[in-house]
A and B are shown apart, each in its own frame.
Chain A
Amino acid sequence: MTRITIDPITRLEGHGRIDIILNDEGQVENAWFQIPELRGFEQFCLGRMAEEMPVITNRICGVCPEAHHLAATKALDGVFGVEPTPAAKKLRELLYMAFFVTDHTTHFYALGGPDFIVGPDAPPSERNILGVARKVGLEVATEVIACRKRNHEIIALLGGRSIHPVAGVPGGWSRAINQEERDLIREVAWKNIEFARFSLALFHKIVLKDPVYLDLVTSDLYLHRTYSMGTVDASGRANFYDGTIRVVDPEGNEFAKYHPSRYHEEIAERVEPWTYLKYPYLKKVGWKGLTDGMQSGIYSATPLTRLNVSEGMATPLARAEYQQMYETFGCKKITEARYQPIHHRMATHWARLIELLYAAERMQELALDPEITSPDTRAIPDPSRFVGEGVGSVEAPRGTLTHHYQTDERGVLTRVNLIVGTTNNYAPISMSIKRAAQKLITSDTPEESILNRVEMAFRLYDPCFSCATHFLPGKMPLTVTVRDPEGTVLRQMRRRG
């Protein structure tokens, strides 16, 4: 067997390594994605008071502390047996929409977009947000920075602190807002909608109207027919803060719909000897290895799959864009509002922009809601209703995020389990790497193309390996090592991150 290894240059900065295993015919047999685990997270939490979790878990990852803060706060609602007030739920969701806007905006302009806007084969020194600004106009840089700034201010206002929010408490939210603050948020939401529309227009103009890029989006390089997962509201439409988990099969038939607290009945985790990170899969379908299709329990939880499970979008502008995306891919309608799923992973970039528009519109809806300025932001837990166990789930930008806590009768943590967004996508990411390798390994592909096509497989998922291993984000440089069957290095390609 020939082994090709892609690993970070240093132990410090990557914490991820890819092994692509070839068979004797030189074809790709498997792709293993190895991630060393950080130690002691559960031990660090056990024995602490459950109420500490929203401020501990929001430090697991510096990229989406807001998602962990909300999942933890919702898990505490369960532990203390308390239903938050309607105003509290709306304030939590409002903060979350501001976060989604900054996160999706940053991904598109800094990480995912450069492949399309600057070009998939442009030198890496140009394939970044500066390259995007040079190509489409310098004012884009100003717009991205302004978008982040105004939403970070709203997050700090609602969350009580910038970066690591503190306002989530069991049964509610510790920070009410007044009329003046609501007006400010409404104004920010309006600017967000305008900016999301501008971003989608840019995507249409530069990507969809260009046959080469359209081909890249619709190509089968990263096509995997997996099950799709996402959270939906009572009408079956995508919601990022709360709802029911829905899973559809590769044809689009509803396969499962369950309350997040029942995740252990639906999801099992496959342990493989080469990695600490477990592969989650649908228990009732079963693990068939790193393969897709109806018989394989592998599912994905991404912006694209959230749209795949959704009965259209809950807001008007996002709904129209949703329809256009599915129609561009030639998907047929299978319900009043929902289409056959899209399995072309590159479409995740488009789906992310549709979610950006939805988050901006939803932010405006919430800001206009008369209840948003209600001072009634907390239901005080009743000790007689104490449960001692809770599951909190939100849609993190990178996939469904679940926190599950158990405590003793004093509220001291006895068990902590997290399934983070990227973990859900561990198997699909491995398959996308395998697919990229299959297409590229056999030919005399230039070094730069191999590195970039493998990176593009990562980027579309925007994975947080750091978070998946309970770790902080690090650098993701690549080293690709090609070895012969005896393990001798034949070729080595490196890119510093």
Chain B
Amino acid sequence: MSGTVIIGMGNPLLSDDGVGIAVARAVASRLTGSAGTSAERSGGELTVTELPTGGIRLMEAMAGFRRAVVVDAMLTGSPPGTLHRFDPKGFVTTKNTYSSHDTDFATAFDLGLLAGVSLPEKLSFWGIEAREFDRFGSQFTEEVAAAVPEAVERIVAEIAGWEGAP
């Protein structure tokens, strides 16, 4: 099993929908000092993945990793920019973690277990409340852009905590 994967979900061309990808990249860059997709470092290998759709694809994206963080845009009615964290037990479907062409993430995860796929021991989901998600554009709205640094901080801290644990 490899180290940690950070999966940024969404579409970078669809305004706030791309925030998960931006956060994932920023976390990787903070932890490795590199913007590349994969880097060796003291805490073990860190891989960053951009993923447009959920379901089985999301389960596959975390296969073979010991730890996984998923970051996605979401809409729950909270003020734009609000940061949410879920663990798989309290799983809430975020904007892109379901695929209308196969299944939801929970079913995909069970499918992976059934098929003997090696899945992460540590897994968390982060959602950032979006405001504009149905207009093409590569800019975030103000509130969402402002939420990025805190999201990065908290995810970096979570990964550091996981990797530091015995």
Contact = CB atoms under 8 A, between A and B. Distances in A.
Contacts of A474: 95-96, 98, 100
Nearest to A36: B134
Given A110-B56, A110-B103, A462-B101, A12 B75 contact: yes
A145 to B, nearest CB: 4
A198 to B, nearest CB: 16
Given A142-B116, A148-B60, A40 B135 contact: yes
B107 A130 contact: yes
Contacts of B93: 13, 475, 497
Given A145-B112, A163-B50, A473 B101 contact: yes
A59 B13 contact: yes
A465 B102 CA distance: 14
A475 B100 contact: yes
B129 to A, nearest CB: 11
* Interface of B (DSSP majority class): loop
Nearest to B112: A145
Interface in A92-143: 106-107, 110-111, 128-130, 133, 138, 141-142
A141 B115 contact: yes
A145 B111 contact: yes
Contact of B99 (A63, A130, A163): A63
Given A59-B12, A145-B112, A497-B104, A39 B136 contact: yes
Given A13-B98, A148-B56, 5 more contacts: A12-B74, A40-B136, A41-B136, A145-B56, A472-B17
B101 A464 contact: yes
Contact of B137 (A40, A65, A144): A40
A179 interface: no
A145 B53 contact: no
Interface residues of A, number: 49
Contacts of B98: 13, 473-475, 497
Interface string B1-25: 0000000001111100100000000
A59 B100 contact: no
B114 interface: yes
A129 B111 contact: yes
B24 to A, nearest CB: 14
A128 B99 contact: no
B52 A472 contact: yes
Interface residues of B, number: 39
Interface string B123-150: 0000000000111110000000000000
A44 B14 CA distance: 10
Nearest to B117: A145
A332 interface: no
Contacts of A473: 53, 96, 98-101
B51 interface: yes
Most buried by B among A12, A36, A56, A464: A12
Contact of A133 (B56, B60, B111, B117): B111
Contacts of A138: 114
A288 B10 CA distance: 39
B153 interface: no
Interface in A468-487: 470-476
Contact of B107 (A106, A128, A148, A470): A128
Given A106-B101, A475-B100, A43 B136 contact: yes
A59 B102 contact: no
Interface in A147-175: 148-149, 152, 163-164
Contact of B101 (A11, A44, A111, A497): A111
Contacts of B158: none
A128 B56 contact: no
Nearest to A458: B100
Contacts of A368: none
